[in-house]
Amino acid sequence: MTKTNAGNFFEDFSIAQTIEHATPRTLTNGDITLYSALFGSRFAVHSSAAFANAIGYPSRPLDDLLVFHTVFGKTVPDVSLNAIANLGYAECRFLRPVYEGDTLSARSQVIGLKQNSNGKTGVVYVRTTGLNQDGEAVLEYVRWVMVRKRDENSPAPEPVVPDLAEAVSPDDLGSAVPPLKLHAYETTLAGAPHRWDDYETGERIDHIDGVTVEEAEHMTAARMFQNTAKVHFNQFAEAQGRFGRRIIYGGHVISQARALSFNGLANAFHVAAINSGRHTAPLFAGGTIFAWSKVTDKAQIPGRSDIGALRIVTTATKDLPGTGFPTRDGGDTADNIILELDYWVALPR
Amino acid sequence: MTKTNAGNFFEDFSIAQTIEHATPRTLTNGDITLYSALFGSRFAVHSSAAFANAIGYPSRPLDDLLVFHTVFGKTVPDVSLNAIANLGYAECRFLRPVYEGDTLSARSQVIGLKQNSNGKTGVVYVRTTGLNQDGEAVLEYVRWVMVRKRDENSPAPEPVVPDLAEAVSPDDLGSAVPPLKLHAYETTLAGAPHRWDDYETGERIDHIDGVTVEEAEHMTAARMFQNTAKVHFNQFAEAQGRFGRRIIYGGHVISQARALSFNGLANAFHVAAINSGRHTAPLFAGGTIFAWSKVTDKAQIPGRSDIGALRIVTTATKDLPGTGFPTRDGGDTADNIILELDYWVALPR
Amino acid sequence: MTKTNAGNFFEDFSIAQTIEHATPRTLTNGDITLYSALFGSRFAVHSSAAFANAIGYPSRPLDDLLVFHTVFGKTVPDVSLNAIANLGYAECRFLRPVYEGDTLSARSQVIGLKQNSNGKTGVVYVRTTGLNQDGEAVLEYVRWVMVRKRDENSPAPEPVVPDLAEAVSPDDLGSAVPPLKLHAYETTLAGAPHRWDDYETGERIDHIDGVTVEEAEHMTAARMFQNTAKVHFNQFAEAQGRFGRRIIYGGHVISQARALSFNGLANAFHVAAINSGRHTAPLFAGGTIFAWSKVTDKAQIPGRSDIGALRIVTTATKDLPGTGFPTRDGGDTADNIILELDYWVALPR
């Protein structure tokens, strides 16, 4: 019996199965710095302990997406090592702040299984919970991936497709943000005057800047997240694969687009939920990421007069500025769209 | 009205205008490690808490240039996003030590404005102060940049060119260094026996080693400093620009040259002031940085018997060893000179 | 007299000579993160403070190889700046755990000298000790390097070749591991069920995954270790050298192979000793590292019922998967073997 993990195949999953993922990870100031240096995030709450303390955090909270990627990374060896594609995310909520020194672990439950008609692959749906060292949930999300079958002749399971919310309800946002001392929130330090009230549904924002990604950068980031997906790291194997290239972790694009969104959403300091996310095309090293966002909804958060929520769809592109707000319906440039991310952010009111 | 920052143009600046820059930044052990890993600095005071404590620091001070770049980075979105060139620095003094856990912010005042004769651009002079979380100044410097006008037809302001000191006076050095316990300063651990007394005015030192810079490295460094200047990051845009390449942040060259200068100046642990700095040619990824230094002055620091100051001009080159002490007057190799940095360092006596 | 260090030549070494190396280095959470992000290590003891505390460590210990490289790096300016080749390691023992905040320094003693028959070079053997801020030894190892003579006509010293152990005795293992609370060691979190008892002498394990190395990565790692060997950094000089390329620090291969070995040796959380190591071929950027291991011995550690030792030989390759357990006797692929590392690891029983 081999001692190496070759990853799970479609047959290895069953409905209600629970997986405790390996390698808990303590996140520290080292992670804050490296995450910042890889993506260039500038939200003041994550950048400055003094700013975070002034508005009511006991210490500066870790960037929500650093938390997401850390939890996600743990699931890869069990869930997606044999994945062909990461198909989607839903019902992702950030439940509790994570601080320097916290240790994160992850647990997943299989909530859906559906063999594809080709008999070679199937879709696996898991609900993953990120936990801190006290066993408290800090993050929860559903993702679904297409996974290879070990044996094409093995029988198909009864199909179960979970009923997933189109979006997280505003009622369920905000638990990762302590009550804020609004008077201490200095928009000058935060980088822009625009608070929740200043945004309108339908508004579109070009985040202007573009950032080129290098092989060393996306591999370093994925390793920081302990994400072991082979396609990101092994040029020897990928040279013989679909693209001939290493594929950049989709989460890298999410984090880069989020960092770019600072220019236009500087006070949207907290990702409160991810409603859905689609990696519509792969990104390779040398590509330049741009992003633009549309405000698709605006909601009060029950019980909170300090923060309000905006629902945002951020579109990330490669080698295509966001100036004209390009979409996948956009003819020639449809293939330049690499990410559509639908999420809620919290801003001070 | 747009919510994105397109940067200030020449017309947006006025004499005595004060700008509070965004995104305060807490510097931690993570920054110390990453800075060290990107530049390879080996000065014992910054590398070892035990060494720093032994000689009288409450904890190891952050590298002066890490402090400089962090403060500088904050000014970019307001001062130099539309800059064509970073023309110079003057009167840069390190006023107070910065330790792990300190949060830095920045404030600038416009002290000079002069439209260029072409009517398209102008020179903006700002005096920038870096502040810690207690509002204490840790750094002060003047820089001047050439900035585009928004509208060529807008009227020129009354020209004001500040009167800047040719060099910081030795009387103004040393406030960032606590009184040292000289007997505890172990030159063996520090890497060389040469103290202040061992250097002579006129002495030239080739720092020997060369270090090649990769795209991933300079972009990671600039992001760590939250420097958002577009030319460093966006290959898609730069491919159509002057050089067809991303340009490496000039401060990257300063830090690399300073790290190289350890070999010959191992006890010059503190950059006490920068008298002037010129980026005489751009550097691109793949280039190899070398450096050599000349001691141009030697001064006692009033009230300090523990440390003395050397005025140094460090010349950094690309793809040209420092062996022959090359200068911009050097014929064929003049274009290989990328930096001339005139600064004061402090050494134990 | 020059102030720069051009490195020692063969004539500069004498038997029993002791060298105190420069630049003590405080290791922090920043180093833990960056090391992890550069190599992708997933051993739970190093990754999670909660896991480490639960089993009896006062805080999470630093990765043994991070300690090794940090100590090694300090010796380079004195021992191997003029080295032609790093020939071997022996008798390497990890003596005491190293924690966040510890400051490491290094001291070496020359224990062997042998001029080569060509009269141009000689072999220098040093025993190096890594010390913490309290002067306690945390690491000890012997290495030998081939060093250039300054002058071919200088007389050869009396040859002294130290008598080195073929392997560290199991009696000498384990002092860097506190007594473990075995009941708290959760193999699910650690990533695999296999404990010491589950391995057999003779067993071979393919670690499956491959990781491509970029220039920015190996240079960043070497600088983190303050390793100044010129061949890793200076493309301008190396373009004219043997290979026309920068050579990746051999220790980079060791750390990458060790990180890959997690897949098959997930509970082998501690490198207790290195018996020998040979860098059989150079690695260059763009190469993909694979690894496989053979269990060559199995030993109880006297006085320890909590942990046992496995002697492992890990073979690392470039651009050659470990599937067929390739060796240097392997015909066509012999040149793909880049490392043979013979070491002891400790596992929970």
DSSP structure string for A6-41: ----GGG--TT-EEEPS--EE--HHHHHHHHHHH--
Using the predicted structure, report yes or no on whether residue B1 has a pLDDT greater than 80. Answer: no
- Find, among A306, A205, A212, the residue nearest to A256 by Cα: A212
CA C161 centroid distance within chain: 22
Structural domain of residue C113, as residue ranges?
10-348
Write the CATH number for A2.
Answer: 3.10.129.10
Give the torsion sign (CA, B133, B136, B142, B144). Answer: positive
Decide if pLDDT at B330 tops 80: no
Residues of A in contact with C223 (CB under 8 A): none
Contact check, Cβ <8 Å, A103/C319: no
Average pLDDT, chain C: 96
C172 near C300, Cβ under 8 Å? no
**ipTM, 2 dp:** 0.97
Report the residue of A82, A212, A227, A235 to disrupt the C interface, i.e. the one with the largest count of C CBs within 10 Å. A235
Q: Is the pLDDT of residue A1 over 70?
A: no
Give me the half-sphere count of Cα atoms (radius 13 Å) on the Cβ side of residue B88: 11
Question: Which pair of structure tokens corresponds to residue B340?
Answer: 């001339």
**Minimum mean pLDDT range among A130-144, B75-89, B296-310, C67-81:** B75-89
Pick from A4, A24, A235: which is nearest to C47 by CB? A24
Residues of B in contact with A210 (CB under 8 A): 230, 233-234, 236-237
Least confident of A326-330, B135-139, B322-326: A326-330
Pair (A70, A201) in one structural domain = no
Rounded CA separation A325/C309 (Å) = 60
**Tokens 């708290």, located at residue:** C184
Residues C232 and C230: their CA atoms lie apart, in Å, by 5
Overall residue count recorded for chain B in this entry: 349
Say yes or no for a CB contact (<8 Å) between A235 and C288.
Answer: yes
* Contact present, C314 and C258 (Cβ < 8 Å): yes
Closest alpha carbon to B296 in B209, B210, B208, B205: B205
Of C22, C101, C133, the CB nearest to B190: C22
Q: What is the pLDDT of residue B2?
A: 85
Q: Which chain C residue shows the shortest CA-CA distance from A225?
A: C37
pLDDT digits (tens, 9 = 90+) for A2-39: 899 889 999 999 999 999 999 999 999 999 999 999 99
The last residue of one of the domains, among A135, A151, A167, is A151
Closest residue in C to A133 (Cα) is C50
Q: How many domains does chain A have?
A: 2
pLDDT at C330: 74
Q: How far is A223 from chain C (nearest CA, A)?
A: 5
In 3-state terms, what secondary structure has residue A227? coil
Record: contact A208-B4, CB cut-off 8 A? yes
**Which of A104, A214, A220, A255 should we substitute to test contact with C (largest number of C Cβ atoms within 10 Å)?**
A220
The minimum CA-CA distance between B81 and chain A, rounded to whole Å, is 11
> Would you call B190 and C105 a contact, using CB atoms and an 8 Å cutoff?
no
Whole-number mean pLDDT of chain A?
Answer: 96
Q: Where are the alpha helices (DSSP H) in C11-158?
A: 29-39, 44-47, 49-55, 64-75
Hey, are the CB atoms on C24 and B39 less than 8 Å from each other?
Answer: no
For B42, which DSSP code?
-
A41: DSSP letter: -
Residues from chain C contacting residue A2 (CB–CB below 8 Å): 205, 264
Helices (H), A48-172: 49-55, 64-75
d(CA C139, CA A61): 37
- Whether residue B217 sits in one domain with residue B69: no
Q: In this structure, is residue B113 part of a structural domain? A: yes
**Nearest Cβ partner for A20 among C188, C212, C263:** C188
Is there a contact between A106 and A71 (Cβ–Cβ < 8 Å)?
yes
Instruction: Please determine, for residue B31, whether its predicted confidence score (pLDDT) is greater than 70.
Output: yes
Q: Give C137's strand partners.
A: C131
pLDDT in tens, C113-166: 999 999 999 999 999 999 999 999 999 999 999 999 999 999 999 999 999 999
Average pLDDT value over all residues in chain B? 96
In the predicted structure, residue C191 carries a pLDDT above the cut 70: yes
User: Residues B221, B249: contact at Cβ < 8 Å?
Assistant: yes
Residues B279, B151 share a domain: no
Domain end position, chosen among A88, A123, A151: A151
Contacts of A123 (CB under 8 A, 6+ apart): A87, A112, A113, A114, A116, A144, A145, A146, A147
Assign C298 a pLDDT band (cuts: 50, 70, 90): very high
pLDDT of C83 higher than 90: no
Question: Within this chain, do residues A211 and A294 fall inside the same structural domain, yes or no?
Answer: yes
Choose from A26, A33, A218, A318 for mutation: most chain B CBs within 10 A: A33
Per-residue pLDDT reduced to its tens digit, A206-247: 999 999 999 999 999 999 999 999 999 999 999 999 899 999
Q: Inter-chain contact C220–B38, Cβ cutoff 8 Å? A: yes
Alpha carbon of C37: minimum distance to chain A alpha carbons (Å): 4
Q: Where are the beta strands (DSSP E) in C82-120?
A: 83-94, 103-115
The shortest C-alpha distance from C35 to chain B (Å) reads 10
Assigned domain for A225 exists = yes
Q: Do A30 and B26 touch (CB under 8 A)?
A: no
At a CB cut-off of 8 Å and minimum separation 6, what does C126 contact? C19, C75, C79, C108, C109, C110, C111, C142, C143, C144
**Shared-domain flag, residues B116 and B2:** yes
Q: For the residues B42-62, what does the mean pLDDT come to?
A: 98
Say yes or no to pLDDT of B30 above 90. yes
Indicate the pLDDT class of residue A52, thresholds 50, 70 and 90: very high
B-chain residues near A205 (CB < 8 A): 2-4
Residue B262 has a pLDDT of: 98
Does residue A330 have a pLDDT over 80?
A: no
Q: Which tokens is C124 given?
A: 């220098």
The pLDDT of residue B271 is: 98
Has residue B265 been placed in a domain?
A: yes
Does A49 sit within 8 Å of B101, measured CB to CB? yes
- Tell me what percent of chain B is helix, strand and coil, each rounded to the nearest 5: 25, 30, 45
Question: Using a CB-CB distance cutoff of 8 angstroms, which residues of chain B are in contact with residue C6?
Answer: 208
CB within 8 Å: A48 and B77: no
Q: How far is the C-alpha of B277 from the C-alpha of B87, rounded, in Å?
A: 9
CB atoms B208 and C4 under 8 Å: yes
Same domain, A200 and A255: yes
**A338 and A201, same structural domain?**
yes
Please report whether residue B214 resides in a domain. Answer: yes
Residue C297 lies in a domain: yes
Indicate the residue of C33, C226, C233 with minimum beta-carbon distance to B212.
Answer: C233
Residue C1 is predicted with a pLDDT of: 62
Q: Which of C28, C189, C265 sits opposite A105 (nearest CB)?
A: C189
Residue A159 is assigned to a structural domain of this protein: no
Domain annotation covers residue B95 = yes
Minimal Cβ distance to B211: which of C77, C101, C233: C233
Query: B220 and B325: one domain?
Result: yes
| Closest residue on chain C to B260 (Cα) | C228
Domain assignment present for C238: yes
Please answer whether residues B13 and B78 qualify as being in contact, where contact means their C-beta atoms are separated by less than 8 angstroms. no
**A36: nearest CA partner in chain B:** B224
Contact B24 A51 (CB under 8 A): yes
Q: Among B33, B43, B263, whose Cβ lies nearest the Cβ of C224? A: B33
CA-based radius of gyration for chain C: 20
Looking at beta carbons, which residues of chain C come within 8 Å of B286? 235
Q: pLDDT digit string (tens) for A171-205? A: 999 999 999 999 999 999 999 999 999 999 999 99
Is C209 close to A233, i.e. CB distance below 8 A?
yes
- Contact criterion met (CB below 8 Å) for B275 and B167: yes
Residue B219 shares a structural domain with residue B160: no
Shared domain for B227 and B292, answered yes or no, is yes
Q: Is A52 left (phi over 0), alpha (psi -120 to 50) or beta?
A: alpha
Q: Could you tell me if A198 and A291 lie in one domain?
A: yes
Q: Which two tokens stand for residue A126?
A: 């898991």
CB C226 within 8 A of CB C105: no
Instruction: Please give the average per-residue pLDDT across A327-334, as a whole number.
Output: 87
Chain C interface residues facing chain B, Cβ-Cβ under 8 Å?
2-6, 20, 22-26, 28-31, 33-34, 77, 101, 103, 105, 133, 214-217, 219-221, 223-224, 226, 228, 230, 233-237, 246
* CA gap C211, C209 in Å, rounded: 7
Interhelix angle B215-224/C215-224, rounded to 10 degrees, is 60
Asked if residues B42 and C105 have their Cβ atoms less than 8 Å apart, the reply is no
Touching subunits for chain A (3+ Cβ pairs under 8 A): B, C
Looking at the structure, tell me whether residues A132 and A200 fall in a common domain.
no
Considering only CB atoms, C217 lies closest to which of A4, A220, A235, namely A220
Contact check, Cβ <8 Å, C29/B29:
yes
Taking CA–CA distances from A24, the nearest residue in chain C reads C48
In chain C, pLDDT over 90 holds for what percent of residues?
94
Mutation target vs B (from C1, C3, C232; most B CBs, 10 A cutoff)? C3
